[in-house]
Amino acid sequence: MSAEIPEIPEPMRVPPTVEVHPALTPEQRDAIRGRFAVEHAGAQHAHTLHSAFDFFADQPFSLGGFVQRLVALASLEPAMGPDAPVGDRGGVHQRARLAVMAEWACQTWPGDLLETGTYGGETTEVLAQIARRYGRKVRTIDCWPAAPAAYELDTVVKPAAYARLAPYADVVEIREADVLTPESRAWIRERQYCLVLADTMKGHEHVRHELGSILPVAQGLVAVDDSYVSSLMRAVEERALESLGMAAASDPVAMGRFIHVHVSTLRETWLVRA
């Protein structure tokens, strides 16, 4: 049941809008936009950067380089009509995009890879291929609840996930539990992670608490899926501002500093450790 990492097709010329917080000066923003335009000469549309970011030129990882790479990958997502389900937008090439970012993360930061929300194991398998290549582990957690019965999570999806991931037993660690139990939160904090995919598709408070477990041990990139859910996006932005000391938290946790990067044409949103 091995699956190759999917190939990304030629660009569809879909111009995304990028939001990066906190803001920089107009001069910094113009310099970034100019550099991007030079590297992508001939594009029909200028990519707009709202707010901006620091290049961190003295570090091996460049946040500017990350955003440029993310925008380039976002431009590969096909345009969808107004009648397309909102959950389908920006996810056609998501696994290939995560593979690119996971490889970059493994080359840049220490730690394993973490996924919250295993579901059928398709994305876990892609991450496992990257982890095996770099001598890392993938830790994935899901509770596959019996309800709602129509989704057949416990009877169909869970067995399929275990079967799909069986060939990766040397690199994949599966935990069957709710991500917010005290035991699961302690399990997450046992390790450090170069890349995290948070994909439990829950509401504001759930995402806040989940990020409260993840961000203290995240060393590089954190992707949070389902960015079309406004309450989820609010939780991500809150945690980013709290990490930077720009907002007070009702449930403060010790964590690094994270920049929130959101590309309008992508299904997921990103937190990048600064």
Residue type, 141: I
Q: How far apart are CA 229 and CA 224, in angstroms?
A: 11
Mean pLDDT across 228-247: 90
Could you give the CA distance from residue 268 to residue 138 in angstroms, rounded to a whole number? 19
The pLDDT value given to residue 27: 58
d(CA 218, CA 194): 6
* Highest-pLDDT range among 6-15, 41-50, 53-62, 135-144: 135-144
Section 212-241 average pLDDT: 94
State residue 38's pLDDT score: 32
pLDDT of residue 8 exceeding 90: no
Q: If you count DSSP H runs as helices and E runs as strands, how many of each does the chain have, helices first?
A: 8, 9
Q: Which residue has the higher pLDDT, 190 or 23?
A: 190
Residue whose C-alpha is closest to residue 136's, from 158, 165, 103, 166: 103
* Total-model pTM: 0.82
**What pLDDT does 53 receive?**
35
Single-letter amino acid, residue 75: S
What is 92-273's CATH superfamily? Vaccinia Virus protein VP39 (3.40.50.150)
pLDDT score of 22: 57
Kindly report the average pLDDT of the chain as a whole number: 81
- Percentage of residues of the chain with pLDDT beyond 90: 53
Q: What is residue 83's predicted lDDT score, i.e. its pLDDT?
A: 75
Lookup result for tokens 């091995």: 2
Lowest model confidence (mean pLDDT) among 36-40, 213-217, 223-227, 258-262: 36-40
pLDDT tens track for 168-186? 999 999 999 999 999 999 9
According to the model, what pLDDT value does residue 47 have?
32
The owner of tokens 């609840």 is: 145
**Average pLDDT of the segment spanning 142-167:** 92
Beta bridge partners of 226: none
27 by DSSP, 3-state: which? helix
- Give me the torsion for CA of 264, 242, 206, 21, rounded to 10°: 0
Alpha carbon distance 157, 144 (integer Å)? 8
Lowest mean pLDDT among 21-35, 91-105, 234-248: 21-35
- Taking the C-alpha atoms of residue 169 and residue 177, their distance in angstroms, rounded to an integer, is 18
Q: What is the pLDDT of residue 65?
A: 79
Instruction: Grade residue 26 by pLDDT with cuts at 50, 70 and 90.
Output: low
Res. 231: pLDDT tops 70? yes
Q: Where in the chain is the domain with CATH 3.40.50.150?
A: 92-273
How does pLDDT run across 90-148, given as a tens digit for each residue?
A: 888 899 999 999 999 999 999 999 999 999 999 999 999 999 999 999 999 999 988 78
pLDDT recorded at residue 246: 84
At 45, the pLDDT band (50, 70, 90 cuts) reads very low
